[in-house]
Every structure is written in C-alpha cells, then in structure tokens.
Structure 1
Amino acid sequence: MTTSVRRRRCRGAPRRRRPWAGAASAGAVLLPAFPVLVALAGPLLPLSAAPGGAPSAPPGPGHLLGTDVLGRDVLALVSRGGLSVLGMTAATLVLAYAAGVPSGLLAAHGRRWMDETVMRGLDLLLAFPSLLLLMTLAATGHRGAGTLVAAAALVQVPAVARLVRATALAPGCRTAVEALRLQGVPEWRVQCGYVARSVRGPLVTDAGSRFGLVLYLLASANFLGLGLPADSPDWAVVIERNTDALFLQPAAVLIPAGLLMVLCVGANLTADRFLARHEGRSR
C-alpha cells in the first residue's frame, strides 16, 4: 500500500470520540445552567426574605435551609440573590467590551499618534488597582449597583483593548487588512467584517475568564460593603453577613459560595467548548 493511499484512508476514517468529551460537553451546559436557573426562577417562588425567625436557626420544617444571622430564610435568600449577581456581571461585561473593542481597533488600525494616545491613556487606568478605585468611590459617597457596575467595567477596558489590539496587529490579520484596503473596500467593512471575525475567537475565550474576574471583583466589593446595601439578598452580601456564624449555620455561607463557584467554572467551560466548536468549523 502506497503512502498516498494510506493518507487518504486516514483522512476518510471517522475520528474516535474521546470518552471524556461527552462529560465535558454536558458539564459545559449543566454547570452554568443550574445557578442561572436558580437566579432567574428563584424570584418567582412564593418565598419571603423578610426577617421572621430565630437568628442562625438550623434547618427545620419552617425553614428548609435554616435562617441567617438576621432571621431570614436561607432558601429565600439563595433563590432571590442570584439575579443581582447575573445582572451586574453581564452589565459590566457588556460595558467593558462595548468600550474596549472599539478602542483596541482604533489603536490597531488608526494613525500612530492615535495608537499612542489611546494605549497610554489606558495604561494609566490599568495601573490603578480595581478595589482601590471602588473603595475611593465608596468613601466619597458614590455607592450603589450602577456606580459599582460602571467602575468595574471601566477597569476592564484596558485589558480588553490590549487583547483586541494585539489580535488585530497579528501578521496574518494585518496583511489581509492592507490587501482589502488596496482593493478599495470601505474601512467600516474591513473593521466590522474581517477584523471583527478575527478577534471573535480570542474575545470569546477572554469572556469566559473575564466573567470570573468580574464576578470576583463584584463579589469582593459587595463583601466589603462597597456596593449593595447590607440587607440585600445578593449571594456575596449574604456570605459577608453570615461569615461569623459559619459553624452555627454553614448553609447560609456554603450554598451561595458554591453557586458562585459553579457559575464561574461553568462560564469558563462554556467559553472553551464554544471556541473548540468554532475552531472545528474553521478547519
């Protein structure tokens, strides 16, 4: 048998499906789906998060998961606290990419003075610690969900812009952009068409990891009391309020912490699976 025949047979042979591929695909769907379902469907349940029981009571007939330090039902807090987590994290990512992607494209394919102006300005913002910015805003009286989302999105813009700029300046992408310009293709079609498709894969991968970073930043801010009020059912706020009673009522801390962890891991798995499928279709 010749080498060319062997190659044709190898190319035509079906690929074996790895035994862990199905489990990874299922995990990429089920892990983020569970906390998202809890966050979206929880507020529809007829549960009251108002104080009405003994503080840090163990699970019982009236409270299936017990109560927290304020006497609130833990099940009600868990079911109602995820919506703020998802909403604030999604809003932060949308704002960060809405500002970071155009900035990166402008720096990559604009004039040199424009590149220097955009990137040096973003470098100053990148050198400023995220939590320090949030603490400064809170100390000056700027609190609340809107301020927290805007500040968290602002500190993510430099990293997003740097990623887009590096991808758009890759040798293959840069050569294709110059060829399209020589053919007379309008600039908006070059940027919104070819360059946008080139940066889509890295952006999806970055979104999975950045989701965890933003979730950690927002949770840390709420944990430190820099964002939502202390009586909010937000998962991070509930963890902060019940840390001292961890051994008396562990469910009030471990359940929301577990949901945050599952949401973060599931988002990374989903991004990885999406990127793998995108690369498979490209090949």
Structure 2
Amino acid sequence: MKTRLANLRQVPPTALFGIVIVILYIVLAILTPALTPYSQREIVGGAFLPWTSAHPLGTDSLGRDMLTRLLYGGRNTLGIAFVTTILAFAIGMAAGLVAVTVGGWLEPILSRIVDMLMSIPQLIFKLFLLSIFGTSIPTLILVIAVLDSTRVFRLTRAAASSIAVMDYVEAARLRGEGPWWLMTREILPNITAPLIAEFGLRFCFVFLAIAALSFLGLGIQPPLADWGSMVRENATLITFGDITPLIPAAAIAVLTISVNFIVDWMLHKSTGLKE
C-alpha cells in the first residue's frame, strides 16, 4: 500500500489530471445508457429550448435533448476512435516490423507506398475517399486506419531498424529463429515505449479527424450523435450568446489535452528524461 502511494506521488500533477479525465470519459461512455432518460434519436420537445431541469443543456435544432446527445456523442466518438487506432496500429506496426525483419526488396516498396500516401494532404484525401466509398462506420474506420497507419509504419520502421542490428538479434538469426520469432520476441519488446506513446498521440489525431469529418458532414452520420456534428448543427446558437455548441468542442479539447499530458509523462518515464 505504501509503495502504491509512493508511486502515485511521483506522478506529476498534469499526468494525474489527464488520468482522472480519461477515466471519467471512459466511465461516462460505459454508463451512458443508464445516465440518460432519452434516446440519442428521440425528439423530446421544440427546437432550441433553453436550459431547464428537464433538459439541463436544452434541446438541439431538431428538439433532441442536448445532454443525452453529448453523452452518446462521446460514447460513439471514443469507441470508433479507439477501434480505428487499434486497426491503424495493427496495420502500421505489422508492416513496419515485416519491412525491417524481412528486408530486401520488400522494405523499399513498402516505404515508397507509405511515402506516396503521406504526400497527399490527409484531410483532403479522407474526404475524397469517403465521398467515393460512402460514409458508413466500417468505411470511416477503414479509411482513417489505413491512412494513419502510415505514421505508425514510419515510427515502427525507424525504431525497429536500430534494434534489428543489435548483437542479440543477429545471434537469434544465426541460431535459426524465423521472422515471427525475431519480430515478436527480439524486436517488438524493445520498442514498446515509443509505440505506447505513439498510440496515445495517434488516438488524439484519430479522434480529432473523426470530429472534423463529422463537422464537415462526412463522419459519423445522423441520427447517431457525434461531437463534431453537434457543433455544426447548433452553431447558430452562438450568434444569440448561447454557449451550448461550445460544450462538445470543449469536451474534444479537454480529452485531447488530457491524453497529451499522459503521453508526455510516459515519454519522460520511459526515456529517463527529467524536468
């Protein structure tokens, strides 16, 4: 118990704040159906009703409860962003490890494909692909995951390249270990620190990308709630001095800052850097 308290005291205030906020978001996302009396699709009153006890954040442009939409928007966006980030890492990390371990002609081919994808402005490319293949949730996840996997590939390849030339990796090759063993037992365990940090950053970028696409009308589609689309649908309230459309925008900003606080702390801890 004392050891746990001592370890907790070593966590900087910014990282502790980030951990608390992330846990709060996760708990709210899990408990959303139990916390909301309405459905995210349900019309409960007139459009743009003011804040009342029945509707703590009023209603939106169609008369749906804003608090309910806010909670379901976080649940939808966080869930889709998490799945997309995992898929992006699975693609990018696997390709990066294979490129370094197998080498030969495969590495330059994969690298040139990644360079080509990264040379196109990402938001424009995502909008282009979604306008062609549609805006269903599986398509949204696949498009963002494939494009963001290029960043994961570059990091994995750079980190693994310095490990693949180490003596213990060469020793494993000489004793006849196959590529799978080299990737999973020799290289991957020694590059986990930068990959974990990149996972947090990549989640932020994916989360922001989904919100931006939804704001532009090509992300999570109605009637599903999403923080980006909530800002767009209710932006007219700002002209009347109502801050309700800014609440989902603030929720996006708070989550992004919190995750970055945690990532900064993890990088300092893993690399031994001191303030």
> Structure 1 length normalisation: TM-score?
0.84
- AA partner of residue 18 (structure 2): A
Residue 46 of structure 1, CA deviation:
4.0
2:101 and 2:164 in contact (8 A); partners too: no
Residue 209 of structure 1, CA deviation:
1.3
What is the SS of the residue equivalent to 2:235?
coil
Task: Please give the alpha-carbon distance, in whole angstroms, between the structure 1 residues aligned to 2:172 and 2:264.
Answer: 31
Instruction: Kindly provide the CA deviation profile for residues 17-70 of structure 1, in whole angstroms up to 9, marking residues without a partner as x.
Output: 998845234213112122222222122224214222232222113211111222
1:230 and 1:241 in contact (8 A); partners too: no
Task: Please give the alpha-carbon distance, in whole angstroms, between the structure 1 residues aligned to 2:64 and 2:128.
Answer: 31
268-277 or 101-110: bigger deviation: 268-277
Q: CA RMSD for the aligned pairs?
A: 2.5
Question: Which residue of 89, 96, 99 corresponds with 1:104?
Answer: 96
- AA partner of residue 271 (structure 1): V
2:102 and 2:179 in contact (8 A); partners too: no
Aligned to 1:38: 28
Question: Which residue of 213, 223, 246 corresponds with 2:215?
Answer: 223
Unaligned runs of 5+ in 2: 1-5
2:88 and 2:146 in contact (8 A); partners too: yes
CA separation of 1:256 and 1:265: change in aligned 2, threshold 3 A: same
Residue 104 of structure 1, CA deviation:
0.6
84-93 or 33-42: bigger deviation: 33-42
- AA partner of residue 62 (structure 2): L
Unaligned runs of 5+ in 1: 1-15
Bigger CA radius of gyration: 1
Does 1:180 find its partner at 2:172? yes
CA separation of 1:33 and 1:279: change in aligned 2, threshold 3 A: same
What is the SS of the residue equivalent to 2:251?
helix
Aligned to 1:9: none
113-122 or 131-140: bigger deviation: 131-140
130-139 or 94-103: bigger deviation: 130-139
Does 1:75 find its partner at 2:88? no
Aligned to 2:230: 238
56-65 or 153-162: bigger deviation: 56-65
Question: Which residue of 200, 203, 217 corresponds with 2:195?
Answer: 203
- The count of aligned residue pairs is 264
CA separation of 1:45 and 1:90: change in aligned 2, threshold 3 A: same
Residue 251 of structure 1, CA deviation:
4.4
CA separation of 1:71 and 1:20: change in aligned 2, threshold 3 A: farther
CA separation of 1:18 and 1:26: change in aligned 2, threshold 3 A: closer
Task: Please give the alpha-carbon distance, in whole angstroms, between the structure 2 residues aligned to 1:168 and 1:30.
Answer: 33
Superposed counterparts of 1:63-212, under 5 Å? 63-140=55-132, 142-170=134-162, 173-176=164-167, 177-212=169-204
